[in-house]
Structures are given as structure tokens and as C-alpha cells.
A and B are shown apart, each in its own frame.
Chain A
Amino acid sequence: MANQNKDATRPLLSARGVKRRFKVGDRIVEVLHGVDLELFDGELVALMGSSGAGKSTLIQVLGLLDAPDEGEVHYGEVSAWKEPPGERARLRNRAVGFVFQFFHLIPELDAVENVLLPAMIGSDPDLKARRKELRERARAMLVEFGLGERLDHRPAQLSGGEKQRVAIARALLLDPKLVIADEPTGNLDSTTGAKVLDLLLEEQKKRDLTLLLVTHDERVAARCSRVVRMKDGRVVDPRG
């Protein structure tokens, strides 16, 4: 098993007993019934499950976008949901990168500006000092991803595959150790989707990233080092 040699080390991200409830009308529906999950350095993990299983809710809790009602999420040694909101915002900015199914680029910004957004949002002083370098880096990444001709194009002028490449570049700009990708090919045709997936997996290997990949596709899952399956708000087999 891929994770066996990592057992000795502390996980990059761990979730313990995560519960999340939503209010639907006057009923309270529990979507996550106490999820445990560990992600280690350099792991490529597929998160699978039928729709309604709680995948999206889980990654939003893990990605520090949605607070769990119970349980903890640790980034290294930091219990992220016990930190003040500003510190959590910093973790979202530096520790994790997101790739969404629907790309989620800002329509008024061109490709380079969209990639640069995390650097502009971050309040760490080193980001200010590295502004020029980061701009160069954003351009270089887009060129590398085959978007050299599209640098000053707005999202509306880009194809779906191009948008997702911009989104991947944005997620990787500040070198987070963890990238959460929520069905990154789910909104692309199969040829384009395959190319985008190749790019993502290539970058994962090259950068030794921990990649949590939400997918419905067993073929995609087969390319991952571990598959975590969810059913009815529980992780069926956290060890894969």
C-alpha cells in the first residue's frame, strides 16, 4: 500500500469525527456522521461516492470553507477550526489550493490576473516582496500549460479546458502542499478532460503534492494511490 511507508510520519491533513448538519425546512439533516480521514505528504487520493454521499460537504470542511458541527481538522499540528478566522483565511491562502468543477475564475480578470489572485489576496509580507517574481511565475506557468497565446484573455474568451488550466495554475501559484480538486473534469468533454487530468497528475508528481481528487470515474480512481469511498455521510474505508 502506498501509505504504509508514511504511517510513521504525522499526516499533512487529518480529520477526526467530523459531523455536519444542515437545516432543511424545520428538519435537521446530518450530512456527515463523523468522518475520519488522513492525508499524507505526496499522496494522490481519489474521493468517490454517489451523489449525496457528502463528498462536497467533506471537502468544504477540509478546505476550511464550511465549519463542522463536531470534530476537528488538523493542518499539520494546527487544529484549523479552532484558529481565529484570519488565521484560517491564511491557511486557505497558503496551505491549500482549490480546483473546482466549474472553474470559478473571476470574469473581469484576464488569465494572468486570475492566476495571481491568491498572491494579491494573501497578506503575508513575503508575498508583497515577491510580487514581481510571482507575476513572472504566473505567466511562465500559463505558458507551460499551453496558454502562451491566452495570457491577457478573459475567462469568457477561453474554452472550458483552457479555463481549467488557468484554475490549476491559480491553485499551484503559491506552492501549497495540498490541492483539493472537486471533479475537475466533470464539466469538460472526455478528450479535454483527459488532457486536463494528465496535466493535474503530472503536476502532482512533479511537485510531490498531496492531491485529493473527487471523482465519479473509476478509471481516474485507478490512477490514484489510494481511493477513499463515501456512503451516506461516512467514509467506508478510510485506508483505501
Chain B
Amino acid sequence: MYRTFLSWRWMRTRKTNIIGVVGIAVGVGALIMILSIMTGFLEQSKKTLRGGLSDLSIEPLFLPLESGSLPPLDPRPVLDAVRADPRVEAACAQLVWYGILGQGGGDAAISALRMSEASGSQSLAGVKLVGVDLADEYATTALRADLERAPRSGATRVADPQRPFDPPPGHKPDGRPLASVVVGEQLARAWNLRRGDVIEVVTGVPDAEDGDFQVQNRRFVVAGTFRSGENEMDLERIYMERAELVDFLGTGRQYSQVLVKTRDYDAIGRALQSDLAQRLSDLGVLRGLDTGEVRTWEDHRRSLLAAIKNERVLMGIMLSLVVLVAAFTIFAILSMMVTEKRRDIGILTALGATSGGVSQLFLLVAFWDALLGALAGAVLGVLGAVYIDAIEQWLSRVFGVQIFDRGVYIFDHIPSVVNPSWVALIVLGAFLCTLLFALVPAVRAGRLHPLDALRHE
């Protein structure tokens, strides 16, 4: 009983203990705050990193199977099999091929190809041709939103997002009507393309019989632009109807990938991935289970995601040093206190305290320090993380310096995510760490021979 009573009294009356509490509170608070903000940043970067990737993508290799037969070139069996799964919300087939965009007709493009150094980069651009089925695409990907996003200056959107591949208003073909395409906003800007402009696309496809590359070219009319916000997509993508691209390439291949939107990716994404791989290889679409033909969006970004995770772990470890320093403060304070309290230890022993009791007494002092410090730190840290924007603005105002440059990032506030289990872990960690550090001086106090101190003042 005297242990609780006396430790609390010492805690309250001795100023050095306040320093310990403040030290732990600052350490814990800073750790929680910084981790929350960094988690916010990482979550934001993760979102950015994902970009336009769909939950799952199925990209068959189109190589002869073990049975000797080729996988079906038509996407329908795959789509049917995928849609049969109740965890799938929507799926769409895309045909993707690469081409070169040339200005001023096919001949000019081909000659520019031959003398690429002399003609400069403006007259040639590598593009990604994406053939889509509109209704499926709208249900599965963000294309519709990309088409409706407010254009930056100079760009023109399609006349009717419901039917983006309709001929642009006022388009009067002087021969066979041209198929419409939608181009990325950045590509349109770089090439000064406007609605109704005609472009020439050159590509090479393997000949079905001898495998040699054949050059194909076709003219299209620009029906409008889209903006996904992702640089790569907006700079090189050209959308058209899948049937049109199938016809242009003439290789017989109807699709190159099937994109899948799931009902709850975080919960079932991985399970669905392996189930679909199993089902589709049973169907004879995939070469095998471990060929990487069915991938989640995270698989596509594996190395970058791993880097993010690494960063967070590393940061956690480094910031834990702050807590370690705080715990060390307690060690120092308690060691000092044991020396200072030698006489009192002698008194307590004379009055009947055991050495274990004395150790517990000092451990309890550290316990109060740790408890108050960790709790205060948790409150401070969580409040700091939640109101970081207001705090930053206030600091910027007071010091007249912009601390967080919002122009640098694509988000306009300081993101922070407070993870309750992390907060609990940090509080618990700081608490245990402090007690562990306190154990040394506490045990020393119990072993102290109090006699010399009792003999003289």
C-alpha cells in the first residue's frame, strides 16, 4: 500500500518526474503524429500509384496449350466465366496494340519514320491503341468519368459521352467515312488536335502465315479528348471501338485482356484471383496457374508498393528511437532519484520494507511516468494528426513561411490517417519500454545498502 501511496506522492511532488512525463508524451505524440501523416501520404501515393488500373486483369499469353490447341481468340468464353462469379461486379474486354501517330497523312508518317532525326519529334508519337466495348467499359473502368472530366484550356471533349465514337458534329468525309477515336488530352495538346481533325496511325502486325511484320495504316477522325489525370495514359492512349481495331489489325485476335471490377477488392481480391486462374485454365484459356496471366492491380505495381511498405517500416523503426530516448530519460531520472532517495530507502527499510518492496516502489514511480506520459502523448498525437492542417496553417501564418507547399502534391491538404491499433501499439510499446528501462534503477534501489545513509545526514 505504501508503494502506491508514496510513488504517487513522489510523482506529484518531484519536478523531475514531470520532465519524464513530458519526455514520454512528446516522444509518443510525435511518433503517432508523424506515422499518421506519413501513412496519409503513403495512402495518397498508393491511390496515385494505382491510377487507372482495374482490380484484376486477365491477359492470356495466346500460346499453344499443352493439348496443342490455341486458346480462343474471342473474349466471350472468358467474359462469361468471369461474370458467372458473384464476386465480380463487371468485366470488359480490351484489345490493346501499339502504333505510331503521324501528322499529315500516312506517307509523311512513313517518311518521317525513315528520317526521324531530321524531322524532329513533333511529327511522330508512339501511341497505345485501345479497342473497347463501350457499355462493358463504362461499367468496369473509369473511362466515362475521364470523358466527362472538365477539360484543361484548349482541349475539346466528345459531343456526347454516351456515344463517344459517333462522328464528330460537322465531320464531312470526302470519301469513305472515317472511324472516330478519342485521344488523351495531353496527346491532343502536344499535337494540337481538335475535334474533327484527321489523324493517321501506322502500325506493324505479324502476318498470319509467315510471321513477318506487315505495316498497316489507317486514318481516323478525332471525336474528342479524355483526361484520366495519369500522365502516361493521357499522353499516349487512343480509344476506339474494339471491332474497329480488330478490323484495322486484321490478325484475327479479338482481345488482349479482360479487365475485372470486383465487389470488394480488399476483402476478396486475392481469393478471386486464384479462383479465376483455376477456372480459366480449366477452360483452356490460360497456360497455367502460375503464369501471371491473372494479375491484381497490386501485382502490376508490386515493386513500388513494396517500396512504400519498406519505407513505412523503416520510418517506424527510426521513429521508435524517439520513444527509446524518452524511456532513457526515465532511466536517468529514476537513477538520479534512487541516489537522491538513499536516505529514504534506509528509513523505509528500517520501518519494515523489504528490498522487493523498495524495488516495486521505484518501478511504480516509472509506471506513473509512463502511464501519464503515454496517455498524454496519445491524446496529443491523435489531436495533432487530426488537426494537422489547421496547425500547419496557423504556424504558416504566425511565422510567415509556407511550411507545406500544396502545389508540390496532387492533394490540397496534408493527409493523415490515424490507425487506432497503431496508436495502441505505440502507447503499449512506450509503456513497456519505459518499465523495462526503469527495471535497472529499481532493482538497484532494492539492493542498496541503506546503512551509510542512515548513519549521517
Contacts and interface: CB of A to CB of B under 8 A. Distances in A.
B455 A121 contact: no
B65 interface: no
A90 B450 CA distance: 17
Nearest to B346: A104
A104 B343 contact: yes
A60 interface: yes
Nearest to B355: A85
Nearest to B5: A120
Interface in B438-457: 450-451, 454-457
Contact of A106 (B347, B456, B457): B347
Nearest to B449: A66
B357 interface: yes
Nearest to A131: B1
B contact residues, range: 20 to 34
Contacts, number: 70
A204 interface: no
A63 B9 CA distance: 28
B454 A104 contact: yes
B108 interface: no
Interface in B304-361: 343-344, 346-355, 357
B457 A102 contact: yes
A66 B346 CA distance: 11
Contacts of B454: 60, 65, 100, 104
A56 interface: yes
A109 B341 CA distance: 14
Contacts of A92: 349-352
B191 interface: no
B352 A89 contact: yes
A118 interface: yes
B350 A56 contact: no
Nearest to A60: B451
Contacts of B350: 63, 65, 92, 98, 104
Interface residues of A, number: 29
Interface in B1-29: 1-2, 5-6, 9-10, 13-14
B8 to A, nearest CB: 10
Interface of B is mostly: helix
Contacts of B5: 120
Contact of B344 (A56, A63, A100, A106): A106
A60 B10 CA distance: 27
B10 to A, nearest CB: 6
Nearest to A90: B352
Contacts of A98: 350-351
A89 B351 CA distance: 8
Given A56-B455, A104-B343, A108-B13, A89 B354 contact: yes
A206 B350 CA distance: 24
Contact of B351 (A86, A121, A187): A121
Interface in A63-78: 63, 65-66
A122 interface: yes
A93 interface: yes
B357 A121 contact: yes
B349 A65 contact: yes
Contacts of A93: 351-352
Contacts of B451: 60, 65-66
Contacts of A158: none
A94 interface: yes
B9 A109 contact: yes
Nearest to A122: B352
A66 B454 CA distance: 11
B351 A117 contact: yes
A85 B446 CA distance: 12
Contacts of A108: 6, 9-10, 13-14
13 contacts: A60-B454, A89-B357, A93-B351, A98-B351, A104-B346, A104-B454, A106-B347, A108-B6, A108-B13, A109-B6, A120-B6, A121-B351, A187-B457
Interface of B: 1-2, 5-6, 9-10, 13-14, 343-344, 346-355, 357, 450-451, 454-457
Interface of A: 56, 60, 63, 65-66, 85-86, 89-90, 92-94, 98, 100, 102, 104-109, 117-118, 120-122, 128, 170, 187
Instruction: Identify the 4 closest CB pairs spanning chains A and B, nearest first.
Output: A93-B352, A120-B2, A102-B457, A89-B354
